[in-house]
Amino acid sequence: MGVRCGRVEHYANAKLVEEKVFKDPVHRYIHVRDQVIWDLIATKEFQRLRRIRQLGTTYLVFHGAEHSRFNHSLGVYEIVRRITDDVFRGRSEWDEQERLLILCAALLHDLGHGPFSHAFETVFHTDHEYFTRQILLGNTEVNGVLRKVSEDFPDIVAQVIEKKYPNELVVSLISSQIDADRMDYLQRDAYYTGVSYGHFDMERILRVMRPREGKVIIKSSGMHAVEDYIMSRYQMYLQVYFHPVSRSAEVLLNNILKRAKQLNEEDYQFALEPTHFKAFFENSITIEDYLALDEYILLTYFQFWMKEKDPILSDLCSRFVNRKLFQYSNLNPEEEPERFNRLKDLFAQMGIDPEYYLYHDCTTDLPYDFYRTGKESTRLPIFLLMPNGEIRELSQESLIVDAIAGRIKSDHKVYFPKEILHDESIDANLRNELHKLIG
């Protein structure tokens, strides 16, 4: 890592005079002993994560889901700290020189997320992983802290987060099928949404983790704890992450941003000029532009845009702010193109723009990676260490995991304003046909 001598080495190894702790509802306490970690938490780029929700629009379904990426990032850091300090320490396969590197990567892995990440990235074609790297390497407070470790340290941290670091063991701690990222967000999301699905025996999993041959492996005696973890993921995906009402809120958000972008292209005169969006509309985004935008800013614009003269933007913002979400119906346009096209025609005949009021959504478009093996996965699968020393992929040994691995089917829905089904100002024949098509 280039951390070898003098003042630089001193800072890399510097400890706080007194350990700092954060009270946490998931891990009870989050412990900070390293000066570098404490300084990174204090940067404005990391503090910005307080203003980015972990679950985007899900708070409109599960009212407790107000937790932030700040909470989650601290949680991922704490799990990795426990693994490096308690589980891996003293094992020949683990290099203590990489401890600070993986702690920094764990803490900063979500640094580049934008407001309401998924919808925002879809409309403006941004990539949170790209902006994480830009924040790490750019003229930022985070970069300044990392460069005090060594000049190349920001780039090395970025390599870990981008999954390009040569030691896959380090990468796997924050990006694999059983990484600290997933172990934190499952428990944290379950806690804040109030559901029971995301709970599993993390203590047992940590006890049976071992560093081996460039990856984390699990002793076979802990297989049942891992099965419980996989089932927790399965249930959370179906009951929380793929929840159709949360997806409805995201549809509204997507269409608000799309409409604002369209109006800007048409030189529409906003009552409140979208100053914070200009760089995104024009695809000329700087790090400063990106960091200046958070969910508080978006919601402020939405409040003002409720009074815009453009009826579509005004209506969509009012629906989102006041939680007047779209209704949904099961329909896959790829399988039933005639049905979907007829719906678009009906909407147009009713004077309702289908571009903004009839939306097809599919769960495979959502940013959640359920357990897959081999080439189908973007993350290292889970490996078991058998009593005879052989290493086996989890689904080869677990009937439960084999039964569900990669088997979540795509869920296609169309979203629309439910009031049109009962709007008596619309021709009765059109409404009757609409009822038949939507079901």
- Same domain (yes/no): 143, 267: no
pLDDT at 375: 46
Instruction: Write phi, then psi, for 70 (nearest 5 degrees).
Output: -65, -50
The dihedral region occupied by 374, where left means phi > 0, alpha psi between -120 and 50, and beta the remainder, is: left
pLDDT at 1: 44
Q: What percent of the chain has pLDDT over 90?
A: 79
H-run or E-run covering 161: helix 153-161
- Same domain (yes/no): 76, 154: yes
pLDDT at 424: 86
Question: Which residues span the domain enclosing 283?
Answer: 243-324
- The answer to the question of residue 148 being in a domain is yes
Tokens for 187, please give them: 């428990």
Region 135-155: mean pLDDT is 98
Residues 159, 165 contacting (CB under 8 angstroms)? yes
- The answer to the question of residue 371 being in a domain is no
- Same domain (yes/no): 151, 17: yes
Region 174-193: mean pLDDT is 95
- Same domain (yes/no): 131, 251: no
Region 340-357: mean pLDDT is 94
Q: Kind of pairing, strands 383-385 and 215-219?
A: parallel
Region 352-378: mean pLDDT is 72
In order, the DSSP letters of 219-250 are: EGGGHHHHHHHHHHHHHHIIIIIT-HHHHHHH
Region 37-46: mean pLDDT is 98
Region 339-360: mean pLDDT is 95
pLDDT value at 61 more than 90: yes
- The answer to the question of residue 412 being in a domain is no
Rounded distance between C-alpha atoms, residue 40 and residue 142, angstroms: 6
What number of residues does the chain have? 439
Residues 135, 104 contacting (CB under 8 angstroms)? no
Rounded distance between C-alpha atoms, residue 152 and residue 120, angstroms: 31
- The answer to the question of residue 34 being in a domain is yes
- Same domain (yes/no): 54, 143: yes
- The answer to the question of residue 387 being in a domain is no
pLDDT value at 425 more than 50: yes
Q: Which residue has the higher pLDDT, 253 or 371?
A: 253
Rounded distance between C-alpha atoms, residue 106 and residue 261, angstroms: 34
- Same domain (yes/no): 156, 274: no
Residue closest to 149 by CA, chosen among 131, 136, 162: 136
Residue type, 367: P
Instruction: Examine the fold and report which residue of 287, 304, 324 is the final residue of a domain before the chain moves on.
Output: 324
pLDDT at 234: 87
CA dist list (Å): 124 to 120, 128, 130, 291:
6, 11, 13, 15
Q: How many CA within 13 A on the CB side of residue 34?
A: 24
- Same domain (yes/no): 168, 262: no
Q: What percent of the chain has pLDDT over 70?
A: 93
Instruction: Examine the fold and report which residue of 158, 177, 196 is the final residue of a domain before the chain moves on.
Output: 177
Task: State the DSSP code for 53.
Answer: B
Task: State the DSSP code for 311.
Answer: H
pLDDT at 404: 79
pLDDT at 2: 42
Lowest mean pLDDT among 79-93, 371-385, 388-402: 371-385
- Same domain (yes/no): 153, 273: no
Which strands form 383-385's sheet, in the order they lie side by side?
209-212, 215-219, 383-385, 391-393
- Same domain (yes/no): 293, 172: no
Region 358-378: mean pLDDT is 65
Let me know the angle formed at the C-alpha of 116 by 113 and 121, rounded to the nearest 5 degrees: 65
Question: Which CATH number fits the domain that encloses residue 54?
Answer: 1.10.3210.10
Q: Please state, rounded to an integer, the average pLDDT across all residues of the chain.
A: 92
Instruction: Examine the fold and report which residue of 290, 324, 358 is the final residue of a domain before the chain moves on.
Output: 324
Q: Give 193-248 pLDDT, tens digit per residue.
A: 999 988 999 999 999 999 987 889 999 999 999 999 999 988 898 899 989 999 99
Lowest mean pLDDT among 237-241, 258-262, 367-371: 367-371
Q: Give 299-344 pLDDT, tens digit per residue.
A: 999 999 999 999 999 999 999 999 999 999 999 999 999 999 999 9
Q: Give 265-278 pLDDT, tens digit per residue.
A: 999 999 999 999 99
- Same domain (yes/no): 169, 313: no
Question: Which CATH number fits the domain that encloses residue 305?
Answer: 1.20.1250.30
pLDDT at 4: 40
Region 9-35: mean pLDDT is 95
pLDDT value at 189 more than 80: yes
pLDDT at 221: 96
286 contact partners, CB below 8 Å, separation of at least 6: 279
Q: Give 67-86 pLDDT, tens digit per residue.
A: 999 999 999 999 999 999 99
Band (pLDDT 50/70/90 cuts) for residue 381 is: confident
- The answer to the question of residue 341 being in a domain is no
Residues 378, 369 contacting (CB under 8 angstroms)? yes
- Same domain (yes/no): 269, 146: no
Band (pLDDT 50/70/90 cuts) for residue 401 is: confident
- The answer to the question of residue 171 being in a domain is yes
Band (pLDDT 50/70/90 cuts) for residue 117 is: confident
- CA dihedral sign, ordered 345, 347, 352, 358: negative
- Same domain (yes/no): 13, 123: yes
pLDDT value at 3 more than 50: no
Q: Give 102-113 pLDDT, tens digit per residue.
A: 999 999 999 999
- The answer to the question of residue 378 being in a domain is no
pLDDT at 408: 65
Q: What's the structural domain count of the chain?
A: 2
